[in-house]
Every structure is written in structure tokens, then in C-alpha cells.
């Protein structure tokens, strides 16, 4: 389903679910209030990018859907692209796509899950202070048909949902090899992982793992392993 403009494709799809006849996906030419993770805004020029929400099968483990959706977007774009934990898509050190997974739980039952995806396609200028956006057109120099990308993305998401993509996800993480600078906001060190006294601030570390519950496991240059939830740690890009 395509709409010319909406406040948010996730919000619109939720409304249509409540009305009882939701489409498999919604694509919008423009969003007036597009959102990313933890409420961050998403800038997009009208009719230049792929802005969509896809109805997913209900699952209690929300991070599984993050993994499947991120893998689908990365596969659509190709091997030159990586997944920045937990689910941004990067080309080199620049962000080309973001994902927002939302669900509704009533009692102990997950009623629905939605993947909101923003992929920079044909936009070449940004007015916001987003630090590192990039689009397919900027990378390759050519325009892309957004309807065709939507069809391919929908197929990739359905394919990833039916596969075990966990190892693929970890193998395609951004900066998955070597030591890189990070800044921590809060830290939770697993007691079984050589825990020491941790201080907030910048440090060098390498990615060791991503846990099934979504936490990122880093190992610093002193050999201490640290576990972080989303928004507790920031890459220095």
C-alpha cells in the first residue's frame, strides 16, 4: 500500500491494524513525523527515499525481529554494507538506513509487530544536523526506482524471517574486527566475565559477541569483557 504522505508509517499501520484490515506493508512518499530508535527524528526529502512499515509475525523476542530485518536490508544493499549494532545499516562510516521495531502486548500475548524502515535512496542533501547520512545515489551516482526496492525489500524480509540468520548478522557487523573507540554512558559488566571496576568515558574495545537478548559484548584492551544494552554505549565514528 502506498500513501503520498503520513505522519509515520508505523503509526498509520497501527491504526489500520486497530481497524481490522491492515495491509502487509505501507510505503509513504513523505513522513511528517518519522521516528528512529528512542524517538530520534528521521529526515527525508519527499519522494526521494524508501519509507515503509512492514507487518511482521508476532514474536515475544523483539530482538529476533531486529536481527531478521537488519539482515534483510543489508542483503538488499549488498556486501559493501554492514549492520551497526543493533540495527542501523552503514556504508563505510555513514548511515544509509535505520530500523524501528514496535509491538503491542496484551497480557502475555503479542498482538502484532511492525518493522519501520527508512532507507536513503535518491536524496543527496540533508538539512538536519544528522552527523553522517548517505544515500544510494551518493554512493553510485544513479537514481533508483523506489517501488522496485520496496518489492525487493519485502521479499528479503520474508526470506530472513524464515531462516536462521543469527550467524550472518554477527558476521556482517560494522567494525566487527579490531579495536575501535567507544564511549559508554552506563555499564553493566557480567560477574562471570572477568569484571573489574568500570569508569564511564572513552575506551578502545573489540566486538566479541551479541547476546540473544540483544546486548553487545565488548572486550577492552585490558582483556575485560563488558556488556551493554542499547543506548548505554556509543560508537565514535
Q: Are residues 44 and 122 in the same domain?
A: yes
Determine the average pLDDT of the residues in 35-61.
79
User: What is the rounded distance in angstroms from the CA atom of residue 125 to the CA atom of residue 120?
Assistant: 11
Return the CATH number at 222: 2.30.30
Q: Residue 37 has what pLDDT?
A: 53
pLDDT at 79 over 50: yes
Q: Are residues 186 and 152 in the same domain?
A: no
Lowest mean pLDDT among 6-10, 56-60, 182-186, 203-207: 182-186
Q: Are residues 158 and 215 in the same domain?
A: no
Mind listing the pLDDT tens digit for each residue in 12-21? 999 999 999 8
Q: Are residues 122 and 220 in the same domain?
A: no
Q: Are residues 163 and 210 in the same domain?
A: no
Q: How far is C-alpha 194 from the geometric centre of its chain's CA atoms?
A: 30
Q: Which domain holds residue 104?
A: 2-171
Residue burial 183-208, b: 16+ Cβ < 10 Å; e: rest: ebeebebeeeeeeeeeeeeebebbbe
Q: Are residues 92 and 8 in the same domain?
A: yes
User: What is the rounded distance in angstroms from the CA atom of residue 2 to the CA atom of residue 27?
Assistant: 5
Residues 6 or more apart whose CB falls under 8 angstroms from that of 73 comprise: 89, 97, 99, 117, 119, 153, 156
Mind listing the pLDDT tens digit for each residue in 108-140? 888 889 999 999 999 998 887 777 999 999 999
Residues 6 or more apart whose CB falls under 8 angstroms from that of 2 comprise: 26, 27, 28, 29, 147
The residue that leads in pLDDT, 34 or 22, is 22
Q: Are residues 49 and 149 in the same domain?
A: yes
Q: Are residues 184 and 156 in the same domain?
A: no
Q: Residue 133 has what pLDDT?
A: 94
In which band, very low, low, confident or very high, does the pLDDT at 186 lie, cut at 50, 70 and 90? low
Q: Are residues 217 and 155 in the same domain?
A: no
Q: Are residues 35 and 64 in the same domain?
A: yes
Domain end marker among 154, 171, 188: 171
Return the CATH number at 122: 3.30.930.10
Domain end marker among 171, 188, 220: 171
Number of domains in the chain: 2
Indicate the pairing of strand 25-28 with strand 2-3: parallel
Burial class (CB in 10 A: 0-12, 13-18, 19+), 142: exposed
Amino acid at each position: 500500500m502506498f500513501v503520498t504522505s503520513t505522519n509515520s508509517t508505523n503509526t498509520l499501520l497501527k491504526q489500520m491494524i486497530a481497524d481490522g484490515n491492515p495491509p502487509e506493508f505501507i510505503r509513504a512518499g513523505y513522513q511528517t513525523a518519522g521516528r528512529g530508535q528512542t524517538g530520534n527524528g528521521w529526515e527525508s526529502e519527499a519522494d526521494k527515499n524508501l519509507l515503509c512499515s512492514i507487518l511482521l509475525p508476532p514474536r515475544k523476542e523483539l530482538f529476533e525481529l531486529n536481527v531478521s530485518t537488519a539482515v534483510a536490508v543489508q542483503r538488499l544493499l549488498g556486501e559493501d554494507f554492514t549492520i551497526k549494532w543493533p540495527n542501523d545499516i552503514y556504508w563505510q562510516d555513514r548511515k544509509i538506513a535505520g530500523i524501528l521495531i514496535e509491538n503491542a502486548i496484551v497480557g502475555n500475548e503479542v498482538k502484532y509487530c511492525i518493522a519501520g524502515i527508512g532507507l536513503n535512496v535518491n536524496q543527496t542533501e540533508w538539512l538536519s544536523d544528522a552527523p553522517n547520512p548517505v544515500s544510494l545515489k551518493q554512493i553510485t551516482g544513479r537514481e533508483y526506482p523506489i517501488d522496485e526496492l520496496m518489492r525487493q525489500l519485502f521479499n528479503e524480509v520474508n526470506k530472513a524471517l524464515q531462516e536462521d540468520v543469527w550467524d550472518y548478522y554477527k558476521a556482517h557487523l560494522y567494525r566487527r574486527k579490531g579495536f575501535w573507540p567507544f564511549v559508554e554512558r552506563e555499564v553493566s559488566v557480567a560477574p562471570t566475565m572477568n569484571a573489574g571496576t568500570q569508569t564511564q568515558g572513552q575506551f578502545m574495545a573489540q566486538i566479541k559477541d551479541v547476546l540473544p537478548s540483544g546486548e553487545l559484548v565488548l572486550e577492552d584492551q585490558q582483556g575485560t569483557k563488558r556488556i551493554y544494552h542499547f543506548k548505554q554505549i556509543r560508537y565514535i565514528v
